[in-house]
Structure 1
């Protein structure tokens, strides 16, 4: 059992909580932290000392004093005025991750949000009452204000929540569970919507996808090398010992294991090819660089997950600090880096696919023995090329831009929310790029029979052939791509070695 606000959560932990395979709760210590912070805010209100967001307006209105009687209305107005997101709803899973991350941050006891409010969020997580959150509207500083406002609207009986796959009004759902909307206290609205949980949740989902796709990239490359009858010498341990980047060392080691006991590798021993093209030979360096980017993003995301990211931070009844912990730059930069890294996995995959079509080293042109009458695998490579270029267009770093907001009070923003969304789009495109390479590689290996590939590659070919037969004459191979892509999304390929 994990404890909100006390334990250090890993990426695997928060994913497990969202999936229901792990539980998280408050304990006596975390409740004490929350109640102390709540009491500190109450004392600030009673003292009539001016503190941003507790008894002042927000943003450029920070110089407007709010009376004691109006502090609750101030927080209510904050949430309803900031819930201005647009676009399609984000995936329900991302909304749930936002809720879990928000509870964990609030439970550290620096935000002034009441125990009742946090317990309501936990109740909603446990009962799968998940808010509907639009995908656009955050600039990634001052917190993810718009999406977080939508996330917490159901706490006050407003907004929409998911009923399976359908957005539905919150009020009847609360009634069904026998609960009433809550009233916001001083600073609660600000504590709830100030933070980076939208950016963070997108990073967490991307990390889960990217971890699998990095391993699949190695498998896909190994299959292409088998089909091409390339060399495994570029993966020797000695080569990577003298340029010891962690990502390339891991990739090289995996490639040797993936190609172990392959009869196709033996065929290369007596051929007169001196070197393979870069997309075959430089897999450890390219995939490895992407692995390094993944590891950096994971490190940053786990730090963010266990941080307090709202403002102001309430240290005691006597001291609150207006700072910049809500600024998303710390996540935006590694997200943009990871986007480029993911796009490059697709870029090199497409090059390997192209090589298999050239008709060299015993493979027929376009991977069909009756080309001319049949186009074979000519056009799927067009699809791959289109997806690769689309990914390249998504590589412009959102964090390179900043548009001042809040009448200039918030004059530098991260745009990290866009970074997170773009990374996930690139990864989704990558699924289809790999589906095409896997389809090509499986076809190429068929022309190397009766030579056997490594066990793990033979298993991958068998999986593909369970739904996608070898191409003899032209057919609707677009459907084959979709079938393999679905296998990838369902994580059916064995990628661990």
Structure 2
């Protein structure tokens, strides 16, 4: 499948498809004319004598140095090679492909001044799956994601390294094997490629999509925990949440009601329940998870705007003037990443408390200690709960905002930076932790529901339980547990748990 990108209006759903499924992406050819017009304007400036930043001058603190027209190509090549200063592990292929798609969108707006040759090469690399090796670290999220994007641009020049057909190759070899030719960068083209927030934005989008997948699964496991603990569904009554008015809370409560509808366990204690109120981790799921959903939706709106933005510098404006600004500063992305991190942390925190409730016989309303069928002889889910606590604590530490940090760079020319790139990159580890926490809650919730037999949970939750049991058998006796946790985590990460009950029932990312 190939997604046609319409710069300025690309929706989150298309970006999610590129991330999750690896679809190809091409620009709508209707944008070619504007791209060519801006490129012609830059070529005219490069042939003249008027100094324009990034076209015929040095960069950053060296902007006052005029460059001869004969040295334009050398200037751009030197820029890319000198900026390839990334360190650390290579970013995953799906994130690199998303970076490339975002760069297509930005260049497609026709304000960057690049030739169509660059656009076509990126499209060809996506189609033939030439994936530049982009080290994960090295950007402070201002003046663009310079180092990460330089590694992308280097491959386009036939430099650097790339992955092709499972092999790590030189950039030139990867292009040649794919039947593609490198480009010689013209005036401003190197700067257009590396100025921009595409690496930070791609990482933040990946964190967003993963966090939303975990949030949907957390509603399923939260409902399982509610039934396993014989919790009340009364706090999910629609009028309660309408009276408060928050969209995420309303949507979350509706999903919980639907998930629990038809539960024989719930029906069994509608009358004569001696508990007046459940603990907050059960009763306040709509208020907490709903607020997290609102935060994710808000971050999604910010990132959708950023994904469609022109963020390099200088820009060719509608009157054909070329003006230097600061759209490369990734502060909006940094704020969005921090919002996502907070939501990830809180979804995991309340889920962990539900796990702790289920394994505690003082709180679980008749379930055996640690959900072991023969407690004492067996430890059950005792240490699985401890693992969830460790992951929750790790996420708390990582949720400290990255956007409030800054350090001057480039001889104080770039004296305030966003830290968006690593602020977004941490979301990958945080969501990995969250997938595991939700997976452990699935193990506990299903085990707890099964211990209520012959009473049964709702039809929808029975589907979720069956999905888990296809991968993880019931825990009758202690066994080597790590594979169980890995399998349950994998179901959450792959979206299988949500697919088992039908994702349309769960709140979408776009409200």
How high is the TM-score relative to the length of structure 1? 0.97
- Deviates most, 346-355 or 316-325: 316-325
Distance 1:188 1:37 in 2: 11
Alignment map for 1:316-465 (pairs within 5 Å): 319-359=321-361, 360-465=364-469
- Deviates most, 6-15 or 156-165: 6-15
Distance 2:266 2:318 in 1: 67
Specify whether residues 352 and 17 from structure 1 end up closer, same or farther in structure 2 by C-alpha distance, changes over 3 A only.
Answer: closer
Specify whether residues 369 and 13 from structure 1 end up closer, same or farther in structure 2 by C-alpha distance, changes over 3 A only.
Answer: closer
Number of aligned residue pairs? 496
What's the secondary structure of 1:75's corresponding residue?
helix
Specify whether residues 81 and 140 from structure 1 end up closer, same or farther in structure 2 by C-alpha distance, changes over 3 A only.
Answer: same
Partner of 1:185: 186
Q: 2:470 aligns with which of 452, 461, 466?
A: 466
Distance 1:190 1:23 in 2: 23
Deviations 1:420-470 (A, max 9, x none): 111221111101101111101111111111111111111111122223222
Partner of 1:303: 305
Partner of 1:287: 289
What's the secondary structure of 1:167's corresponding residue?
strand
- Deviates most, 36-45 or 138-147: 36-45
**Residue 260 of structure 1: how far off its partner (Å):** 0.2
What's the secondary structure of 2:391's corresponding residue?
helix
Partner of 2:509: none
Deviations 1:283-315 (A, max 9, x none): 001101110111011101110111100011112
Specify whether residues 468 and 237 from structure 1 end up closer, same or farther in structure 2 by C-alpha distance, changes over 3 A only.
Answer: same
Deviations 1:293-346 (A, max 9, x none): 110111011101111000111126862111110010011101101101111111
- The runs of 5 or more residues in structure 2 that have no matched partner are 506-511
Distance 2:4 2:482 in 1: 48
Partner of 2:252: 251
Contact in 2 for aligned 1:149/1:193 (Cα 8 Å): yes
Contact in 2 for aligned 1:41/1:317 (Cα 8 Å): no
Distance 2:182 2:143 in 1: 26
**Residue 486 of structure 1: how far off its partner (Å):** 1.5
Partner of 2:508: none
Partner of 2:208: 207
Partner of 2:222: 221
Partner of 2:490: 486
Q: 1:273 aligns with which of 275, 286, 292?
A: 275
What's the secondary structure of 1:180's corresponding residue?
coil
What's the secondary structure of 1:406's corresponding residue?
coil
Distance 2:204 2:198 in 1: 10
Partner of 2:316: 314
Alpha carbon RMSD of aligned pairs, Å? 1.6
Deviations 1:364-405 (A, max 9, x none): 111113222221211111100100001011011111100000
Partner of 1:153: 154
What's the secondary structure of 2:479's corresponding residue?
coil
- The runs of 5 or more residues in structure 1 that have no matched partner are none
What's the secondary structure of 2:132's corresponding residue?
coil
Specify whether residues 393 and 71 from structure 1 end up closer, same or farther in structure 2 by C-alpha distance, changes over 3 A only.
Answer: same
Contact in 2 for aligned 1:294/1:338 (Cα 8 Å): yes
Residue 52 of structure 2 is aligned to residue 51 of structure 1: yes
What's the secondary structure of 1:135's corresponding residue?
strand
Distance 1:457 1:316 in 2: 55
Contact in 2 for aligned 1:44/1:317 (Cα 8 Å): no
**Residue 164 of structure 1: how far off its partner (Å):** 4.1
Contact in 1 for aligned 2:7/2:106 (Cα 8 Å): no
Residue 235 of structure 2 is aligned to residue 240 of structure 1: no
**Residue 23 of structure 1: how far off its partner (Å):** 4.9
Contact in 1 for aligned 2:38/2:320 (Cα 8 Å): no
